[in-house]
Structure 1
């Protein structure tokens, strides 16, 4: 008998199916405490690989024999050795994560959000291991991709499967927690790349300005993507109203939290912008719009298929960050904030085109959880 290699896609299906399974994470304790695979019916045990080189006798009593056991490491090799030790010790339902946490960080899970009024659909790409959300909006044979991840093959393959041309790529703001795939998508597909001009003052590449009042369209239908200037997370942050039904909020507003204004060192300056966007600008649009954010913070935000969405009026009722008075709000978004994303300054410089790290370094820069949110 041998252990089984399991892909990030298969692990995602287990999580969304609320299957019960046990994770033996053999990374070092700091890496585990910073970031791990989470699910509503997942149990964890963290024991560093070096403590298990000679076998698993010391932990055999802590690992269940009546559950699937998933062994996880950084890149796969260490988990395979420990998985084999478990099999040798008599465990029968043993799996090792293909590609390790590196692959888990990069995997994208597409889920359909809904149909557009005149034909076409909007899909959400859920980056399960990073908390990032990106969007594929298609109608009449053309598509717009919003806030794409670095691993662009998933979008290109998705477009080919649907015989759709990627026409435009949009970043709602200059990202600081992950490397944007927008420029790479432009290079590989010929798409136009839109970026808010106030976030693009230092970028080293050409782009189209994403400006309120200048809609972006695809195909020959009346479906439009309407930019709404909504500063606060960054000075250029721009939301998108799609088909008069969906509100893509970028990193300004999430389902259970709000954006943070400090990732460019501007917490004091941008806190008021953030409050104005959340309590004035967004209040002027319909509460029936469906909020589709650029991140999620917890698996509790995922629907049955993995989707993250909520009606704007419901978000205002339930999101604690939207129910703070002015002083509480300023304190929440400028003091006692969670740790900043790993390598966020280097990521910002990469997204500006100022530096070009190699693929391995880019992967290292992105490792870790979503840290763009402030929880009220």
Structure 2
């Protein structure tokens, strides 16, 4: 039997469709504990590569006899070695993840959210990183919101649908992943929008994403709504009075953290005002579409991460803290670790530094950490 190769897209399909998946992750224990492939029907075990160099015989009793075994490592080399060792030991149904966890981190799955006049709204699910970006299409035009650095996903999608990308937008200056907004706008000769309150140290030209300055894509209106708290410039986007793109302010099961620039104490009241006043005045039927998710359970039956605003005010515990002092404690004392290389990511998104591609990939490795626990 030959060792089979599995692409990130194949693994994502299994996860999203809740198909059984058995994973042997051979990274070190710390890396596995920090971040791994998860899903409702995913079973995974961790046995570090260095424990398997001298043979896999002791591992065999832990492996299923009736399922494919997907071996996963950081880049793929170690998983190929272990996979071949398993085949030599008599295990027939073995595969490895092509590109390893780096490839998993970069894969985007486009999912249709709903129809719009002359087109539709799509959510691009970065399943291995918990990032969500969006493409608005109408009458052959498109806008991309909170693009990842893997901009070929959007250009290929647009080309296949005959769309011209007219604009790209970042709801805020990102600190957990490298934005592709400016690079994408430059490539397609479109307009790049960024909240000016977040752009004090940005080194390149941009157009202010500002409340009162609506953007039109075909028959669709994108309305910026100033909603600070995660950053001082955080700006939500209302799309045709039906969808609310909340960036990193409000998630399906949590709320945004206000400290990625070291400003938790300064921005906590802005966050509370946005969540407990500004959003609360909006229509409950609005479909909230965040820029991140933390758990696979947040993906709905169609693979879309979303919820109606009124449902979040009923179920999201971050919206039920009546006392201001208690809210302050919640968002300043219950914070997960800072994202990997967050300061370098911010400086990259400002245009201050220009790391090479391999360095960019390394900077982004790890889970999404934009929410309050």
Aligned partner of 2:336 among 335, 338, 344: 338
Structural mapping, 1:59-208, within 5 Å? 59-116=59-116, 118-208=117-207
Distance 1:301 1:293 in 2: 11
Structural mapping, 1:141-290, within 5 Å? 141-219=140-218, 221=219, 223-290=220-287
Distance 2:139 2:372 in 1: 38
Instruction: Indicate conservation of the 8 Å contact 2:229/2:270, yes or no.
Output: yes
Distance 2:135 2:87 in 1: 42
Distance 1:276 1:267 in 2: 14
Distance 1:315 1:68 in 2: 39
Structure 1 unmatched ranges of 5 or more = none
Task: List structure 1 segments (4+ residues) > 6 angstroms apart after TM superposition.
Answer: none
Q: Secondary structure of the residue that 1:374 maps to in structure 2?
A: coil
Query: CA-to-partner distance for each residue in 1:174-206, whole Å, 9 max, x for gaps?
Result: 000000001110221111000000000110000
Q: Secondary structure of the residue that 2:265 maps to in structure 1?
A: helix
Distance 1:87 1:324 in 2: 55
Distance 1:45 1:260 in 2: 31
Query: CA-to-partner distance for each residue in 1:251-294, whole Å, 9 max, x for gaps?
Result: 00000000000011110010000000001000111110000000
Shift of 1:70: 0.8
Distance 1:254 1:6 in 2: 31
- TM-score scaled by length of structure 1: 0.98
- Quick check: 1:364 aligned with 2:362? yes
Query: CA-to-partner distance for each residue in 1:57-95, whole Å, 9 max, x for gaps?
Result: 111111111122110001111101111111112222211
- TM-score scaled by length of structure 2: 0.98
RMSD value, Cα: 0.9
Aligned length, in residue pairs = 372
Distance 2:204 2:145 in 1: 18
Instruction: Indicate conservation of the 8 Å contact 2:8/2:97, yes or no.
Output: yes
Distance 1:16 1:127 in 2: 12
Q: Secondary structure of the residue that 1:122 maps to in structure 2?
A: strand
